[in-house]
Structure 1
C-alpha cells in the first residue's frame, strides 16, 4: 500500500508541476482520488503526517525571534483579524440558516461561532511551503506572516487544550524551567558535528519536546515548537534547519494526502465548501486593510495577506471537537476538510502571481497606506554605489568583500533580513535593508551611477522578478546572477542577464584559483636552490 501512496502522490504532484501549479495541489488531489477509489489508509500515513507537521513547527521555531511576536503589527494583526472573522462568519452562518440553506439551517449561535473560529486560522503548513518556495521566509512580509501564524497556532493549541478530555497536569508548570536547558541543548548540537548525527539530533529534540508536553497534558506539536525556540539564535540552529528541510518536505506529503482521507463528500457538502472558499478573498482583503491600519506599507500588507489567504488544518481540529461535543453535525468535518483543500489550491495559485499582482495594482493599493510608517517599513536606498550586490548571504558576502578588497569599488549590499543587515553594518560593510523585488524600492533608487548589479539570490524565480523590475525602471548597466542548476542558468541567460555563475560547477575553478599560488611558490623555491 505504501507503494500506491507514493506512486499516486508523485504522479499527481508531477502533473501539477507541469501545469505550473505547486506540487501540494497534486498531493491534495491524490488524497481525495485514493479515497474515492476505496483505498484504505494505514496507520503509517497518519504517522507520516504527524512527523511532517512536527518537523515543520520545529524548523519554524529554529528561525523564530520571540521578541518579534510582541510587535504591534504581529500580535494585534493576528488577534484583531481573528476577532473580526469570528464575528462576521457567525453572522453570515445565521443569515444563511435563516434562508434555509442546507447544513446552515438549524445552527445555534455557539455552533456558528465555532465555524467562525475554525475559518479564522490560516494554514501554517501551506503558508510556510509557499514562502519557502519563493525564498521569502526572511523577508519583511514573510516574517510578519510567520509571526501571525505562530499567534494563531498558540490560540488554536489553547482551544484544543481547553476542550480536550484531559487537562494539563500540575507538572505543566515545570515547563517554565525549560530555558535552563538551553546551554545543554546548544552544547549537544555543537558536539554533533556536521554529518548525519545533526539531523538525527533534530528528530530527537523535536520528538523529545513533543513527548514531554504530552506527559503533562499539552499538545506534542507545541512541545516541538518550544524546544526549537530555545535553540533559535544559536550558531547551529540555521545549519540544523537546513539539514531537516528535505525530511520535513517529504513527511508533509503524508499530511496533504491525509486531508483527502477525512471523508467522502456529497454534492451538497461541496457546495457549502465552495461558499466558504469564495470568502477567501474577503479574508485576504480584511488582512490587508487591518495591516495597513497598523502602519505597514501597502506591499508588506498585500503580500502578507496573500500568504495567509487560506484555511488551516486547525480548523479540522476545531470542527472535530465541536462534533464530539454534539455542537456540530459530523457532516461539518467533511465540509471543513473540503474547504481547507480548496483554500490550499486557491492560495497556491494566487501566491504564484503575488508580485506581478502587486505591480499591477500598486497605485491603487498605495492609497490605503497611512502617512506614518513603522521603522521596518521605511525604504532605504543605496548612496554613491557603482555596484549593487542583491542578497548578502555567504555568496553575496564573498562577492562584496572581493570587490571592495581587491578592486576597491564602491559597493552596496541589499538584503531583506534586517538582523543580517545589522550584522554586516557592525562588521563595516555598506548594506541596506530592502527587498529587490519591490518596485517601490527601485522607484527611489538612482540607477544612473550603477554599472553592475549582482544577484546572489537562491531562487531563480526571484531573480527573474528583479530583472523585470530593472527593465521597467530602464536600467542599462550589466547584470550577473548565481544559479544552482544548468536549466536555471539557461532561463536566466534567456531573460537577459549578462553573466550567470553556476557555483556548483565553478566551485572547483575557484578552489584552484585560490590555491594555484602554492605550486608557483614551490616552483620558485626549487629554482632558488
Structure 2
C-alpha cells in the first residue's frame, strides 16, 4: 500500500480516537497495528516523516526552554526526585516480572533502559487536556509543562549519547553558534509571518541537525540547541506556534511505524498492560513533592493528575535502544500498548480533577505550606474584579478604575505581567480565576461586577459556573470571539462582548470621536481668524 494511503488510515483512526475522548495518538498506534494485521508495511516516505517529526519535536522543545523557569526547585527538584523514584519502582516491578515470567529475557541493561523510558509523562496528552479545558495559561499547566521539559531534556541527553560516537575535534566550531542568536532573530523578522517564516523554522531545525551530525554529535541534539538559541524571543514563540501542527503531523509517521512493527508476545503484552496501569501511581508521588516545594494544593493536584501517564518520548527512547541491541525490538510495540493503557486510565482521572479537589478541598488544604499561605492575595474592599490582565483586561481595568478607584482588583497568573502592572501602580494580584480557594476569600456579597477578560471560552464557562455554584448573584461580563460562545454565556445570564463583531462598533465610535474633535478644532480656528480678517 502506498505511504499516502497509510496516512489516510491513520487519519481515520485518529478521528475515531478523538471522537471517544482519547488523544489522536492512540488512533495512530492502532492504525499501525491494524495495518500490520493486513500485512501492510511502511515505505521510505513514512521513515522520512518519522525522522522529521522527531527533529521538529526537539526543535520545538528548545524554543520553549526558559532556563530561568526550569531552575525553580519546584520544577527541577520535583522532576529529578520523581524520575529517580519511578525508575526504582519500575526496576523492582521488572525484576519481579522476570522471576515470574523467565521467558521475557530481561537483563540488567534492558531493565535500566525500560525503567528510564517509563519515567516520562506525555507532553502530547498534557497539552491536549489543557487546551480542551482552556487551562493552557494556568499555573498547573505551566508547572506540568516545566516538569515535562526537564524530562524531555533527560531523554535528549540519552539520545545524544546512544550512538556511542565520539565527537570530532571540529565539533568545537559549534561554539560559534552562541553569538548567532541575533543574526538568526533578524533573519526571522525579515521572513515576516507567513509561509516564508515557517519555512525558515524548518530550515533552522534541519540545519541544526545536519551541522551536529556532520561533526559526530547526534543531530537531534543540534535541533534542540538551535531552538534554545531562540527561546524567550517573540519570534521564537511565534515559530513554536507555527510548527506545532507540522511537528504533530510528521510524528504520525513515527507512531504508525511502531504499530507496523507488530504485536509483542502474549506474556510481554500482559506486562505492558500492567506497566500502563502503573501510571496511576505517579500522582501519589508528584503531589507531596509539589506541596513540599511550596506549590498550592490545588495546583499540585491538577498538575499531578495531568502527569499520570506514560510518554511518547519513551517510545523514542525504546526505539533507539532497540537499534543498539539494549532491548528486544518487540518492546517498542509493548511500550506503545502501555502508553495507550495509561491514556485510557488517565483520561477519566483528569476529567474528575476539579470535582476531586472541590470534594476533598479541606483535606488537601492541610498540605498547604506556610509560605503559600502567606502569599494569599488581598481581596479586601473589592467591588469589581477584572480576570485576565492582558491588553483587553488592562483597558477594562483603566476604564472601570476611573469610577471605582482602589476597589477594582485585577487578577492574572503571569508573574512577569503582574510586575509590570505593579510598576504602573495598578492593584493586581496573582491567582487562578478557576480556583475555588481564591473565591472563598472574596466577599461575594460585596462584589458588584466580575469582568472575564480571559478570551478563552472554556475558562470563561468554568469560572462562571463556579461563581454561580458559590452563590454569587452579581453581574458577570465576558469577552468572547464567536457568536456561539456569546449564546452559551448569555444562556447563563452573563453579558457577552463579542471582540470581533463589536470591535467594529468601537472602532467606528473612536473614529467618529476623532472626526468630531477635528471639526471642533477647525471651527475654533475659523472663529479665531474671522475678527482679524
Partner of 1:414, secondary structure, is strand
Greater shift in the superposed pair: 382-391 or 517-526: 517-526
Pairwise mapping of residues 453-492 of structure 1 onto structure 2 (< 5 A)?
A: 453-492=450-489
Superposed displacement of residue 84, structure 1: 0.8
Using the TM superposition, give the Cα deviation of residue 406 of structure 1 relative to its aligned residue in structure 2, in angstroms.
8.0
In the TM superposition, residue 369 of structure 1 has moved relative to its aligned partner by 3.9
TM-score (norm 2): 0.87
Shift of 1:5: 4.0
After superposition, residues 63-462 of structure 1 pair within 5 angstroms as: 63-100=64-101, 103=104, 106-373=105-372, 378-404=375-401, 410-462=407-459
**Per-residue CA shift, 1:380-408, capped at 9, x if unaligned?**
24343322121222332332233335886
Query: Given the superposition, is the C-alpha separation of residues 210 and 511 from structure 1 closer, same or farther in structure 2, using an over 3 Å criterion?
Result: farther
Matching residue of 1:61? 62
SS of 2:118 mapped into structure 1: helix
Contact 1:25 1:345 in 2 (8 A): no
Question: How many residues in Structure 1 have an aligned counterpart in Structure 2?
Answer: 524
Aligned pair in 2 of structure 1 residues 333, 18: CA closer, same or farther (>3 Å)? closer
CA distance in 2, matches of 1:127, 1:326: 31
Secondary structure, counterpart of 1:279 in structure 2: helix
Please report the RMSD computed on the Cα atoms of aligned residues, expressed in angstroms: 3.1
Deviation at 1:276, TM superposition (A): 0.5
CA separation of 1:89 and 1:445: change in aligned 2, threshold 3 A: same
Q: Which has the larger radius of gyration?
A: 2
Contact kept? 1:413, 1:431, Cα under 8 Å:
yes
Secondary structure of 2:409 counterpart: strand
Picking from 480, 504, 517, the partner of 2:513 is 517
Of stretches 274-283 and 450-459 in structure 1, the one that deviates more from structure 2 is 450-459
Residue pair 2:312, 2:339 contacting (<8 A) in 1 also: yes
Q: CA 1:425/1:224 → structure 2, altered by over 3 Å: closer, same or farther?
A: farther
Distance 1:18 1:290, change over 3 A: same
Structure 2: how far apart are the matches of 1:438 and 1:228?
34
1:74 and 1:144 in contact (8 A); partners too: yes
Match status 1:503 vs 2:499:
yes
Stretch of structure 1 that moved more, 269-278 or 323-332: 323-332
Q: Deviations over 1:74-132 (max 9, x none)?
A: 222111111111111111211222223752xx423333222211211222333334334
Structure 1 CA distance for aligned equivalents of residues 213 and 373 of structure 2: 40
- Displacement of 1:233 in angstroms is 2.6
Distance between the aligned counterparts of 2:506 and 2:20, measured in 1?
38
- How far off is 1:280 after superposition? 0.8
SS in 2 for 1:236: helix
SS in 1 for 2:450: strand
CA contact (8 A) 2:29 2:336 kept: no
Query: Which residue number corresponds to residue 38 of structure 2?
Result: 37
1:334 and 1:119 map into 2 onto residues whose CA distance is: 14
CA contact (8 A) 2:377 2:431 kept: yes
Q: Rate the CA distance shift 1:178–1:84 in 2: closer, same or farther, 3 A.
A: same
**Whole-angstrom CA distance in 1 between matches of 2:28 and 2:301:** 27
Find the aligned partners of 1:471 and 1:403 in 2 and give their Cα distance: 23
Report the Cα distance in structure 2 between the residues aligned to 1:318 and 1:60, rounded to whole angstroms: 16
Where structure 1 has 5 or more consecutive residues not aligned to the other structure, the ranges are none
TM-score (norm 1): 0.88
Structure 2 alignment gaps of length 5 or more: 527-533
